[in-house]
Structure 1
Amino acid sequence: MREMMIDENKKKKEMNEKILTDLCECCLTLGFDFSFEFLSICVPCLLKAALKKEENEETQMEVEMALFALSSIGYCKVPKEMYLSELKEIIQYHQEHLNLTQLAYQSAWQFLIRRILCDRNLEDVIVNELHFGREAARELKELTRNVDWKRGKEEEKEKETKEVIMTRRWIDIVDNFLTWCALWKEGFVMLICSVVQVFRAAKVNNEEISSRCIYLFRSAAFNWNMKVEDLLKGGAVDAVLEEMKQSTLDDEVTFKCLEFFDFISMRLKGKEEEKMEEEKRKSMKKKVFEKLEEEGYEDAIASFHETFQLLNKECYDDFPLDISDYFLNI
């Protein structure tokens, strides 16, 4: 299939546009090939399909499938000349006219955010032109209101709601954004707030999503462009403390919680930012540790701080299997 498409393109033979679009969607969704030669055929083809603006259900589904296929492209390099102008038009048109489905809109963002890894110049477009923080926060708040979080666990396993799936996808892409983006704005506190809302809504009946929120907070704390003050304002510190109280806390989540506080602790030692005023740094440190002290965790965090220096933080297997039991019983 791949060879046929490339061969036809080289020979400049005409191929039915709908058939070519279907082939591109199939190949990308199944992860057949992400080579430059192949992407140079598929990306323009799918963006052309995604640019359709007719307001009918059939067109909406065609656009959704095209953008969903594009979101399947991994973290490989795609020249921005191949997609950026069209993708900006798609996102900005939706922001004005709300013509995309939830999945289509999220897929457009997922494709774009994944490109940051190979092209840091995209950050200004994503943050300042397309307003990712505002848009992601709005989408998450809307999903949190619409998800039936009280559905039974067995029922949820049998049939996940569309809203639950979309919430998971948004949490993952926001996690990627907070991991890689070096351009931080104070307004992103609302993005952290929206994830905290998802965490609190999901923590009783959807452990997977609540755990993903904890991983996201850990990613934010590890991003040295993210201010500790914003994690406090957004409620991330409180959310991680709430998670640590859970009687069913597993070892991997414990590890992420401890890393979260370890990263914050290191940054508040005075070397986080040269621009941070000493008094402000001390005030921030006091606020964080007062929260820990209120919950009785300050000694526990301190006792693990030196351990972190000896272990390979990238290797979760270095932690003993009973670490969460030990932590919860301190």
Structure 2
Amino acid sequence: MSLSCLNTFFKIERGIFLNEIKEIIKHHQEKRDLSRLAYQSAWQFLIYRLSLDKFFEDVNFVELHFPREVARELEELSKFLNLKKNEREKIGNETKEEIVLYRWLRISEVYFRRCRLWNEEFVGFVSSIVHMFLASRNHCEEIHYQCIISLYASTGNKAVKVEDLLKGKAIDAVLEEIHRPTLNDRITNGCLRFFMNISRRLKEDDYDDNNNNDDDEKEDEREKIKKEIFEKLEEEGYEDAVPSFHELIDILNRYYYPFLSLDILDYFVNA
């Protein structure tokens, strides 16, 4: 309770907490004897504190398998989300499981923004958020929105490969979402931000400017991914969907996010 109630960005010297928090997390990974809220609170405390450092050290999260652990927790919590979907009228207010689930998504967003080391667990991590995004679509608006914000955060970080987002079905899920007739402004905003970043990532050079033997290989891989995404968007009618949002972009900029591009071409990936 104390860990979860401390102000989110209250800075504490890492020497005071780092080893002890890591031991708590490792202990639970071995014994599985903490409550969901207690375990999530330990991770939240660690990530928010370390996110305040000028140099975010991924080694702690690689060692503790943060992506794998979140994926496992979200999978478990999704069962309660589905239960609530079937019995919403009986339950009424949000369950404690939904609260913990939302908190996992919030710290996942911070992790996606700050991580710098690629991890082989990323694809499963992305897949778990995509699953939650789809599962919460019609009945848990805040969780649904936080999923798209977390996915958007991942697109802005070069440590998260576009290939990981493709393999994790994030692009498919957001593409499907943008065609829904009941799409609200917040989700529209999140979808447009997601695709704007994907487009930017595929148009720019994602490797170092200095020439080396890997440049051609990386460029070939980037072109392959661009072509696959382009064909997927074209097949699903993405180019027809995006211009329909053009008149909304000014409103979205005023109320949700001030940096959406007014140039429709910024949302398209050219093969």
1:185 is aligned to 2:119: yes
Letter in 2 for 1:227: K
Give the aligned partner of residue 296 of structure 1: 237
- Alpha-carbon distance, 1:73 to partner: 2.6
Q: Is the 8 A contact 2:178 2:241 kept in 1?
A: no
Letter in 1 for 2:108: V
Q: Identify unmatched segments of 5+ residues in structure 2.
A: 209-214, 261-271
Give the aligned partner of residue 178 of structure 2: 244
Give the aligned partner of residue 76 of structure 1: 10
Q: Is the 8 A contact 1:211 1:253 kept in 2?
A: yes
CA–CA distance in structure 2, aligned partners of residues 167 and 84 of structure 1? 24
Letter in 2 for 1:68: S
Superposition map of 1:1-330 within 5 A: 65-69=1-5, 72-119=6-53, 120-127=55-62, 129-147=63-81, 148-151=83-86, 158-274=92-208, 277-301=218-242, 316=257
Could you list the per-position Cα deviations for residues 87-114 of structure 1 after superposition, in whole angstroms to 9, with x for gaps in the alignment? 1111111111112110000000001111
- Alpha-carbon distance, 1:286 to partner: 0.8
CA–CA distance in structure 2, aligned partners of residues 318 and 192 of structure 1? 25
- Alpha-carbon distance, 1:155 to partner: 5.0
Letter in 1 for 2:187: V
Q: Is the 8 A contact 1:149 1:206 kept in 2?
A: no
CA–CA distance in structure 1, aligned partners of residues 229 and 243 of structure 2? 13
CA–CA distance in structure 2, aligned partners of residues 285 and 196 of structure 1? 21
Q: Is the 8 A contact 1:266 1:272 kept in 2?
A: no
Could you list the per-position Cα deviations for residues 47-88 of structure 1 after superposition, in whole angstroms to 9, with x for gaps in the alignment? xxxxxxxxxxxxxxxxxx23333xx33223211111011111
Going from structure 1 to structure 2, the CA distance change for 1:273 and 1:312 (only over 3 Å counts) comes to farther
Q: Is the 8 A contact 1:116 1:180 kept in 2?
A: no
Q: Is the 8 A contact 1:218 1:256 kept in 2?
A: yes
Going from structure 1 to structure 2, the CA distance change for 1:277 and 1:122 (only over 3 Å counts) comes to closer
Segments ≥4 residues shifted beyond 3 Å = 151-156, 299-305, 311-315
- Alpha-carbon distance, 1:287 to partner: 1.1
Q: Is the 8 A contact 2:74 2:128 kept in 1?
A: yes
CA–CA distance in structure 2, aligned partners of residues 235 and 290 of structure 1? 15
**Structure showing greater Rg:** 1
Secondary structure of the structure 2 residue equivalent to 1:165: helix
Q: Is the 8 A contact 1:193 1:235 kept in 2?
A: yes
Going from structure 1 to structure 2, the CA distance change for 1:146 and 1:154 (only over 3 Å counts) comes to closer
CA–CA distance in structure 1, aligned partners of residues 50 and 235 of structure 2? 39
Going from structure 1 to structure 2, the CA distance change for 1:187 and 1:314 (only over 3 Å counts) comes to farther
Going from structure 1 to structure 2, the CA distance change for 1:315 and 1:159 (only over 3 Å counts) comes to closer
Ranked by relative contact order (alpha carbons within 8 Å, sequence separation 6 or more), the top structure is: 2
CA–CA distance in structure 2, aligned partners of residues 153 and 318 of structure 1? 37
Q: Identify unmatched segments of 5+ residues in structure 1.
A: 1-64, 320-330
Tell me the C-alpha RMSD between the 2 structures: 2.6
TM-score, length basis structure 2: 0.82
CA–CA distance in structure 2, aligned partners of residues 206 and 219 of structure 1? 20
Count of aligned positions: 248
CA–CA distance in structure 1, aligned partners of residues 179 and 221 of structure 2? 29
- Alpha-carbon distance, 1:314 to partner: 10
Could you list the per-position Cα deviations for residues 232-261 of structure 1 after superposition, in whole angstroms to 9, with x for gaps in the alignment? 001110111121122221122212211111
Letter in 2 for 1:66: S
- Alpha-carbon distance, 1:184 to partner: 2.3
CA–CA distance in structure 2, aligned partners of residues 257 and 172 of structure 1? 17
CA–CA distance in structure 1, aligned partners of residues 172 and 84 of structure 2? 21
